[in-house]
Structure 1
Amino acid sequence: MPPILFAFIVGLGQGLLHAVGPDHCAAMATLGTLEGGRRRAAVMTAVRFACGHAAMLGGVAAVCLLAGVGLSEAFERWAEVFGGVVLVALAVTALLFPNSLNHGHPHLPSHTHEPHVHIHRHMSTAAGALMAVSGVRSLLLALPPLLMGGSMSLAAWTYLPGFALGILLGMGAVGLLFAEGISRLGARLVAGLQRAVAVGSGALGLFWITSRL
């Protein structure tokens, strides 16, 4: 198998595994359940989250490789604490101000939904980017360039687009799965599920924080 294709496939597989991490699933569930079972909206939320996540991971990793900069274990630990804080913030917002994640804020009948949709789009992308900070060091350690002829090897660099595609596919699939499940529930059950998911996400975020301190 050509080294370029091998690196791409390895990146794709690791991106898929990265996408289904518990913290990522919790964040996407918190955002996705607020779509009320609308499949396209939930999938697009997951895709926007994935785009922000992949862009942050790939961008920071590429800069570190080109600059020859490494990241310490202390950086990774505090970055994971930060990821837990982001998860808790999403959960609290979903519990106390669900409209700020769904439509931006309560609106008058004469208002259109378009401005609120933009807010939700930015929220999903920003959440994905912020939660990516905790995974940068792991990505740098997993990257195969040093095993494939150095950081400037063309074959090694194909790992990054493969990893990004894996994240997109994995998170998109998770978003679709949540949307399919929610679409089969009644409105009352959906509201209860939204609160349960937010509480669970917040609990996971707190565990993430305390276990890293």
Structure 2
Amino acid sequence: MPPLLFAFVYGLGQGLLHAVGPDHCAAMATLGTLGPGRRRATLLVALRFAVGHAAVLGSVATFCLLAGVGLSETFERWAEIFGGAVLVALAVAAFLFPNVLRHGHPHLPGHTHEPHSHIHDQVSTTAGALMAFSGVRGLLLALPPLLVGGSMRTAGWTFLPGFAFGILLGMGAVGLLFAEGLARLDSLLAERIQRVVAVSSAALGVFWIVDRF
């Protein structure tokens, strides 16, 4: 297999594994239940989350590689604690203020309009970017295609776009799973499931934080 293709495929596999981690699945499920339940909308949420996530991961990892900077286990532990805090904040906001995240303001009685998702889009991108810091050290340890005899190889750089694409595919699959499920439920049950997902995400975030201390 050509080195360019090997590095891309290897990055794709690593990105898929990274995307289906429990913290990412919880975040995508929480964001997915806030959307209108349509395939296109959910894919856009996944795209924005994945772009923010991959951009931070790729930027920080590239800087560390070029500058010869390593990241310690202590950095990784505190970054994971920070990621857990982001997940808790996202879950609490989704549980208490779902309409604000959807539309940027709460609904008043009798208030109707076509759904729009400007705030939701910003939250998706920001959450993806902030949660990326917990995975930077793991990404650096998974980059053997970039390091050959201590020097950089051009072929190895296809690992990063492959990794980003794997993140998009994995997160998109999780988001679509929830969107398809909710689309088949009545609105009252879907709202209850939304709250259950938010509580579960918050519980996972708290566990993530406590386990890393």
**TM-score, normalisation: structure 1:** 0.93
Aligned to 1:169: 169
Q: Which amino acid aligns with 2:200?
A: G
State the distance in 2 between where 1:208 and 1:155 align: 36
Aligned to 2:138: 138
Of all paired residues, the percent bearing the same amino acid is 73
Q: Does 1:31 align with 2:21?
A: no
Aligned to 1:102: 102
Aligned to 1:80: 80
Aligned to 2:126: 126
Deviates more, 1:70-79 or 1:164-173: 164-173
Cα displacement string for residues 142-183 of structure 1 (whole angstroms, at most 9, x for unaligned residues): 111455344521111111111011111111111111111111
Q: Does 1:58 align with 2:58?
A: yes
Q: Check conservation: 1:86, 1:131, Cα contact below 8 A.
A: yes
Q: Does 1:13 align with 2:32?
A: no
Aligned to 1:188: 188
Aligned to 1:211: 211
Cα displacement string for residues 35-89 of structure 1 (whole angstroms, at most 9, x for unaligned residues): 1422221221111101100111011101111111110000000000000000000
CA offset at residue 98 of structure 1?
Answer: 1.0
SS of corresponding position for 2:117: helix
Q: Which amino acid aligns with 2:51?
A: C
CA offset at residue 112 of structure 1?
Answer: 6.7
State the distance in 2 between where 1:129 and 1:146 align: 23
SS of corresponding position for 1:166: helix
SS of corresponding position for 1:44: helix
Q: Which amino acid aligns with 1:212?
A: R
State the distance in 2 between where 1:38 and 1:117 align: 13
CA offset at residue 191 of structure 1?
Answer: 0.6
Q: Which amino acid aligns with 1:44?
A: L
State the distance in 2 between where 1:96 and 1:42 align: 21
Q: Check conservation: 2:12, 2:164, Cα contact below 8 A.
A: yes
Q: Check conservation: 2:86, 2:130, Cα contact below 8 A.
A: yes
State the distance in 2 between where 1:195 and 1:128 align: 21
CA offset at residue 110 of structure 1?
Answer: 8.8
Q: Which amino acid aligns with 2:188?
A: R
Q: Where in structure 2 are there 5+ consecutive unaligned residues?
A: none
**TM-score, normalisation: structure 2:** 0.93
CA RMSD across the alignment:
1.8
CA offset at residue 101 of structure 1?
Answer: 1.5
Q: Which amino acid aligns with 2:164?
A: A
Q: Check conservation: 1:65, 1:151, Cα contact below 8 A.
A: no
State the distance in 2 between where 1:151 and 1:160 align: 17
